[in-house]
Amino acid sequence: MGYAAARGGLDAIAAAEDLVRDARDLADSPWLGLDQLIDRQRLAVDRVMGEGGLWDPRLAARALQQAEGDTVEASHLLRSYRATLPRFSYSHPVDMDDAKVLRRIVPAFRNPPGPQLLGRTTDYTGRLLDRTDDDLARERAEKRVMESTFDADGDVVSNATDTAGSASSASVGLGDRRHRRLLEVLRDMDLLVDRRRTDDPKPVDITRAAVRPPALRSAVLATMARAETGALVNLWYRNILGPDGYIHEVTLGEVRHAELPVTVTHPHTGGPVDIGVVRATEVEAIEDLDGADEDRTRFDAGYGLCFGHNEKKAIAMANLDIACHRDGGGGNGGSELEQSILMTTDGLDASGFLEHLKLPHYVTFRSMVDRKMAMRAAGRSDTAVDGAPVPADPREGDCA
């Protein structure tokens, strides 16, 4: 961008920044620490990690703390910090079948392989503002935990690990929290278009160079994995409603919140080393194919995966993945939808452009005023002046 930066005002800028810091750091209320944010504002911390493209709950909580709760700003801080770090390596590719579920629902099938595990959710709870006193809420929670830990006789409730197929609260057990996918059932029934690749192309690294359409699917998926949640949801909603000419009938196959192992190569032995886990939300969206050149006897599926627990984002991503594929994107030559995904869903890109509008634009606006005055003088108040320099892309314009 060709900024002609304004000068001066440093004292006022410093004083304004102090107002933010002082109000945040010296407020009368108890300090909101990192542990509180991680424990009690889990979804916000997860969202920051997802949109920042960086897994570290403590750093994400610190960013959220500094940004006064603004998740996009916090993601920006996280990405700025990330830019200061060296990259050591790539992890071994995680086969998503190795992820251990914390929650897993299959809206398309009543009895999928493995359990329908609600996990930690308020999906089935009325959206009513809970005004219960904090102390009373804590007291009730402690009672609930006590009752689930000890039975009426005061004995510890058995926590013996069950296995798939054993009786528990439902007929299917938790097993090792790795469960066969609905996709495999559809494949067994020959109801799924087989797009499995036998080669193993190197994924596009979107952190090294900006991605522009047409792009490979790995670039589109990586872009959506760190896209801003609201942007993806909006794009999905527009897509599903059809104003752009697309109509999609999608059913969700898998919705999972799961733990993924992080495995790297040991530099001395060359062997794999598991160094921990990250949590991610995974969604498979099953699409009813109805195009003239499509196999109408089968379904196809889209895929969504993002850091943390963020089902809205993963659902939108999975739907957009299959929509993009059907529309000719994701390595099939490019499409308008692919362009929208790549160019408009990054939170930093969008909010950065938006926020810059608050910077002084004195020179550009004075130029616009001059043009209006010139047009008026020439008696041409409703048409543009021929030859007036108009930037082709407003983001290329000067700001001063």
Partner 1 sequence: MAVRELAEHCLRLLGEPVIVTPPETGIVMMQVREPIVRERFHLGEVVVTRADVELAGHRGWSIRQGTDRVATLAAAICDAAAQSGGEIAADVERLCAETARSIERSEADLATTLRPTIVEFEELD
Q: Which of 21, 40, 58, 296 binds partner 1 (CB under 8 A)?
A: 58
Residues 160-179 that bind partner 1 (CB under 8 A): 161-162, 168-174, 177
Q: How many residues does the chain have?
A: 400
Q: Which of 48, 50, 73, 323 binds partner 1 (CB under 8 A)?
A: 50
Select from 3-11, 64-72, 79-87, 371-379 the region that touches partner 1 (CB under 8 A). 79-87
Residue with structure tokens 């992820």? 99
Q: List 272's β-bridge partners, or say none.
A: 265
The verdict on 268 binding partner 1 (CB under 8 A) reads: yes
**How far is C-alpha 314 from the chain's CA centre?**
6
Give the list of residues 6+ apart from residue 38 with CB closer than 8 angstroms, or none. 45, 57, 58, 61
Select from 21-29, 34-42, 218-226, 241-249 the region that touches partner 1 (CB under 8 A). 218-226
Identify whether the C-beta of residue 329 lies closer than 8 Å to the C-beta of residue 364: no
Backbone φ, ψ for residue 286 (5° rounding) = -95, 125
177 versus 371: smaller Cβ distance to partner 1: 177
The verdict on 273 binding partner 1 (CB under 8 A) reads: yes
Residues contacting partner 1: total by CB under 8 A:
83
120 versus 131: smaller Cβ distance to partner 1: 120
For residue 14, give Cα distances in angstroms to 6, 10, 359.
Answer: 16, 6, 16
Q: Which of 215, 221, 255, 337 binds partner 1 (CB under 8 A)?
A: 221
Give the list of residues 6+ apart from residue 257 with CB closer than 8 angstroms, or none. 101, 102, 103, 104, 119, 120, 279, 280, 281, 282, 309, 311
Smallest separation (angstroms) from partner 1 to the CB of 54: 5
The verdict on 342 binding partner 1 (CB under 8 A) reads: no
Identify whether the C-beta of residue 319 lies closer than 8 Å to the C-beta of residue 237: no
The verdict on 54 binding partner 1 (CB under 8 A) reads: yes
Q: Which of 6, 13, 90, 242 binds partner 1 (CB under 8 A)?
A: 90
Identify whether the C-beta of residue 224 lies closer than 8 Å to the C-beta of residue 346: no
- Please name the residue ranges forming H helices in 150-249: 182-188, 217-225, 229-241
Round to whole Å and give the CA distance between 104 and 118: 6
Structure tokens at 382: 């409703």
96 versus 399: smaller Cβ distance to partner 1: 96
Q: List 255's β-bridge partners, or say none.
A: 105, 283
253 versus 334: smaller Cβ distance to partner 1: 253
The verdict on 186 binding partner 1 (CB under 8 A) reads: no
Q: Which of 48, 67, 222, 231 binds partner 1 (CB under 8 A)?
A: 222
Identify whether the C-beta of residue 353 lies closer than 8 Å to the C-beta of residue 397: no
Residue with structure tokens 């003088």? 377
Q: Which of 47, 76, 179, 217 binds partner 1 (CB under 8 A)?
A: 217
Smallest separation (angstroms) from partner 1 to the CB of 87: 5
Round to whole Å and give the CA distance between 218 and 196: 14
Residues 281-340 that bind partner 1 (CB under 8 A): 284, 301-303, 305-307
Q: List 306's β-bridge partners, or say none.
A: 281
Round to whole Å and give the CA distance between 193 and 170: 32
The verdict on 38 binding partner 1 (CB under 8 A) reads: no
The verdict on 264 binding partner 1 (CB under 8 A) reads: yes
Residues 109-138 that bind partner 1 (CB under 8 A): 110-111, 115-120
Residues 231-250 that bind partner 1 (CB under 8 A): none
The verdict on 276 binding partner 1 (CB under 8 A) reads: yes
Sequence letter at residue 149: T
Smallest separation (angstroms) from partner 1 to the CB of 14: 29
Q: Which of 35, 39, 205, 355 binds partner 1 (CB under 8 A)?
A: 205
192 versus 235: smaller Cβ distance to partner 1: 192
Select from 93-101, 129-137, 239-247, 291-299 the region that touches partner 1 (CB under 8 A). 93-101
Round to whole Å and give the CA distance between 295 and 301: 13
Select from 3-11, 47-55, 338-346, 362-370 the region that touches partner 1 (CB under 8 A). 47-55
Q: Which of 41, 207, 234, 364 binds partner 1 (CB under 8 A)?
A: 207
